[in-house]
Chains A and B, each alone.
Chain A
Amino acid sequence: MSTGEMLDPEDLDERERTALEHLGKRLGDDEFVLAERYTEWQVRSPSLESDLALSNIAQDELGHARLWYDVLDDVGLDEEELVYERDPDTFRHSTLVEQPFPEGDWADAILRSYLYDIAEKLRLEALEQSSYPKIADRVGKIQGEEEYHLEHAQNWLERLADGEDGTGRLQEALDRLFPHALTLFEPTDPDVEEDIVELGLRTATLPELGEEWLSIVLPFLESLDLDVPESGLADADGYAVTGEMLPAVRGRDGSHTESWDDLFADLTHTYRELERDRPTKIMEQP
């Protein structure tokens, strides 16, 4: 139950700090890792226009990652600790965003974007009234920049689903990505997750978000003639993410698929090769 009171950034107790850290990491890590994957499409997208669109979406997500990581400055974490000097097993992103794209599979990039952006839309709504001022302060900015991501994904989905070849590729991507998408609604730690909601940092629970996500995503995908994984369908109790629908590793708890180790090694390669101990700035004195 939320107390309805705002938390004071200057006076956080241990429980509040931990909850804030977990929430900030699950938000920031999702955006950061997804942006890393999106950038792999640069100069490889099917057309110049789609290349620019996805590159721009990647830049948006990097900006959003930074907005969330900035919040963690309040618990004493800075950029090198959050990215370059971090143990990859402590990243809290969903396994959806770390998956490599099968070579040239644009349908995967588009479907992934759709599955993610619906979840992001719902979770941002659940942060609008956050008890943490810095979180509530930045939600509107992000929402304003997110709107067209979803439009972009839906547009492309409809076009891809218009032909047999495209539908086949979408179906394969859906079968592959769907279990990973469900980890978006997994807790980083069940007790801390309880605190996140009790402290009012987020105003909806993960099962509530998952249920709402399923109720939007499943009918839309069915309308495109895609076979939705059966266990996600509505039963008498409505939609719910259940344990048997989830993959073996959940991302949120620090367990990741192998592809994450490869991606993390890639994205920190130059940093390590140059024996850095902190991120450098291109211009110290502009």
Chain B
Amino acid sequence: MSSEIPDPSEEPTPCAYTEYTEGEGVADLPATGEDAAGIEADVWDALYEIEDPEMPISIVDLGLIYGVDVTDDVATIDMTLTYSGCPARDMLLDEVEERVEAVEDIDGTHLRLVWSPEWSLEMVTEQGEQDLTEFGLAV
């Protein structure tokens, strides 16, 4: 038997690209706003409402939000995207701005797209993992 033909009696060999757990955890991330209070907590609530365009998971649970700061009623949001070539980029950024500006007493948004540290699966929250599992993804 050619060595290239898998032996059915052996454990199946997965293809080289099924490892989705790589990525190092980063201290302070994922940010979830659990310690936030007042108007910042309201902003986090608004962000929680936004779902990823392709999967039923909040962008906060997906780990895209790195930080929220509200000073003088202006919200500064640090966020990233899972992929640099993300086709939904404009749509997602517009939605974040729109939802945050709709928060009561918020008077302006400063959205900063950051790329470091890089997003990885380690950024997904426990709730996010549950949502993705329920959706049928192995995480």
A-B contact count, CB below 8 Å?
Answer: 42
Contacts of A54 in B (CB 8 A): none
The segment from A59-67, A156-164, A166-174, A216-224 that touches chain B is: A59-67
Contacts of A137 in B (CB 8 A): 114-116
Contacts of A70 in B (CB 8 A): 113
Using a CB-CB cutoff of 8 Å, which residues 37-84 of chain B contact chain A?
Answer: 83-84
The size bracket of the interface on A is 20 to 34
Contacts of B94 in A (CB 8 A): 286
User: Are B85 and A60 interface neighbours, CB within 8 A?
Assistant: yes
Q: In this complex, what residue of B is CB-closest to A58?
A: B85
A142 to B95, CA, bound (A): 25
Q: How far is the CB of A70 from chain B (nearest CB, A)?
A: 8
User: Are A286 and B91 interface neighbours, CB within 8 A?
Assistant: yes
Verify if B7 is at the interface (C-beta below 8 Å from A).
Answer: no
Verify if B118 is at the interface (C-beta below 8 Å from A).
Answer: yes
Q: How far is the CB of B79 from chain A (nearest CB, A)?
A: 13
Contacts of B104 in A (CB 8 A): none
A63 to B83, CA, bound (A): 8
User: Are B90 and A67 interface neighbours, CB within 8 A?
Assistant: no
Q: How far is the CB of A62 from chain B (nearest CB, A)?
A: 6
Contacts of B91 in A (CB 8 A): 283, 286
Using a CB-CB cutoff of 8 Å, which residues 87-139 of chain B contact chain A?
Answer: 90-91, 94-95, 113-118
User: Are B85 and A62 interface neighbours, CB within 8 A?
Assistant: yes
User: Are A59 and B85 interface neighbours, CB within 8 A?
Assistant: yes
Verify if B86 is at the interface (C-beta below 8 Å from A).
Answer: yes
Contacts of A59 in B (CB 8 A): 85
Contacts of A67 in B (CB 8 A): 84, 115
User: Are B118 and A63 interface neighbours, CB within 8 A?
Assistant: no
A70 to B80, CA, bound (A): 14
B residues in contact (CB < 8 Å) with A: 83-86, 90-91, 94-95, 113-118
A residues in contact (CB < 8 Å) with B: 59-60, 62-64, 66-67, 70, 136-142, 144-145, 281, 283, 286
